[in-house]
Amino acid sequence: GAVVSQHPSWVICKSGTSVKIECRSLDFQATTMFWYRQFPKQSLMLMATSNEGSKATYEQGVEKDKFLINHASLTLSTLTVTSAHPEDSSFYICSVPQRGVYGYTFGSGTRLTVV
């Protein structure tokens, strides 16, 4: 089956710094990847759709300049949280559409804590 690797699994950073999160599709090429954010005891909220070779599509209310997405290859998408603040602390998850059977594979998530 499809395998998606997400790194790091957790990160602590100081307020004002930037953090990069990677999402890799290990065994198939993905022209599209999705980034979600999940606050404690809440659901997954789609932040943006990452498109290989073109600009990401952001959901309404998501700051494009704060959450930079780069999909530079068919197996890698990165989410950079710029000038992080404590309110950016959350759980970030990537998702990749599967080939063959319609569905999605999720990364293991990244817990970001901004202090």
Residues that bind other proteins (CB under 8 A): 32, 34, 38, 42-46, 49, 57, 91, 93, 95, 97, 101-104, 106, 108-109
Q: How far is the CB of 110 from other proteins (least distance, A)?
A: 10
Please say whether the beta carbons of 71 and 51 come within 8 A. yes
| Shortest reach from residue 83's CB to other proteins, in Å | 26
Q: Closer to other proteins at the Cβ: 17 or 59? A: 59
Report, in Å, the least distance between residue 101 CB and other proteins: 8
**Closer to other proteins by Cβ: residue 34 or 67:** 34
Residue keyed to tokens 């789609």? 46
2, 17, 20, 24 from 97: Cα distances, Å: 9, 31, 22, 12
- Asked if 65 and 56 count as a contact pair (C-beta separation under 8 A), the reply is no
